[in-house]
Amino acid sequence: MRIVIAEDSTILRQGLVELLTFRGHEVVAAVKDAGALRDAVGTLDPDVSIVDIRMPPTHTDEGLRAAIALRREVPGCALLLFSQYVETKYAAQLLADRAGGVGYLLKDRVAEVSDFLDALRRVADGETVLDPEVVSQLFSATRQTDALGGLTPREREVLGLMAEGRSNSAIAAKLFLSAGSVEKYVTSIFGKLGLPPSEEDNRRVLAVLRYLDS
């Protein structure tokens, strides 16, 4: 296979180059930032690209956002995300088109070189390859987003004020509502988020955690 590598760590980047070359593949470019990745894929037309998520300048999600842009700019380009982290927001967006030719593996969970090479080949062949931990976190994030999506604008507003640590009476004063109305909104929020009454759990805290996680 003809492969592009995008990895900001010099040691990991060079290690991948040597590994893949030893196994008979051609590394046509090995770059350290998202801009160079997009240029390399656009001009060299590799069979597959290995992309780290966190690259310069902020080391947050540059690689993942570059991957999304590449899927728009170069239809059918195959990309294997290879990272220590699961970034659910953009990963879900990358996988949403269901076109295949995309993978997401976690560096710490790849036990065998043969497994990595097999995943790389499958992605190049148009399959979708996901680490089970990635699937689990994406599913969890989707459930949380869907739950909040069921809230009305007013309920989201009330939940946002709860997240600020405001009491029901303070929320009522802020939104010019009666205390009874706020109580009804809070009860509705608990119901939609699947938080039944419990002597062991603080539903208000759990609701706020769902809000912050979203």
Using one digit for the tens of pLDDT, what is the confidence trace for 67-94? 999 988 998 899 999 998 887 767 777 8
Q: What span, in angstroms and rounded, lies between the C-alpha atoms of 41 and 31? A: 11
Using one digit for the tens of pLDDT, what is the confidence trace for 160-176? 898 888 899 999 999 99
Q: Structural domain of residue 80, as residue ranges?
A: 2-144
**27 lies in the same domain as 66:** yes
Among candidate residues 108, 126, 144, the one where a domain is terminated: 144
**27 lies in the same domain as 68:** yes
201 pLDDT above the threshold of 90:
no
**209 lies in the same domain as 122:** no
DSSP for 170-211 reads HHHHHHT--HHHHHHHHHHHHHHTT----SSS-HHHHHHHHH
**87 lies in the same domain as 166:** no
Q: What span, in angstroms and rounded, lies between the C-alpha atoms of 42 and 102? A: 17
Average pLDDT, the chain: 88
**Tally of structural domains, the chain:** 2
CATH number at residue 76: 3.40.50.2300
* Buried b or exposed e, range 141-153, using 16+ CB within 10 angstroms: beebeebbeebee
Q: Please state whether the peptide bond connecting residue 196 to the residue before it is cis, i.e. omega within 30 degrees of 0.
A: no
CATH number at residue 175: 1.10.10.10
**192 lies in the same domain as 129:** no
Against a cut of 0.75, is the pTM above it? no
Q: What span, in angstroms and rounded, lies between the C-alpha atoms of 85 and 106? A: 7
**132 lies in the same domain as 184:** no
Backbone φ and ψ for 182, nearest 5 degrees, come out as -65, -40
Token pair, residue 84, equals: 């220590």
Q: How confident is the model at residue 21 (pLDDT cuts 50, 70, 90)?
A: very high
**49 lies in the same domain as 18:** yes
**118 lies in the same domain as 171:** no
**131 lies in the same domain as 187:** no
**159 lies in the same domain as 139:** no
Q: What is the mean predicted confidence (pLDDT) over 127-143?
A: 74
Among candidate residues 144, 166, 200, the one where a domain is terminated: 144
Q: 63, 34 in Cβ contact below 8 A?
A: yes
**42 lies in the same domain as 107:** yes
Helices (H) and strands (E) in the chain, counts: 10, 6
Which of 180, 189, 179 lies closest to 158 in space, CA to CA? 189
Among candidate residues 127, 144, 161, the one where a domain is terminated: 144
**45 lies in the same domain as 76:** yes
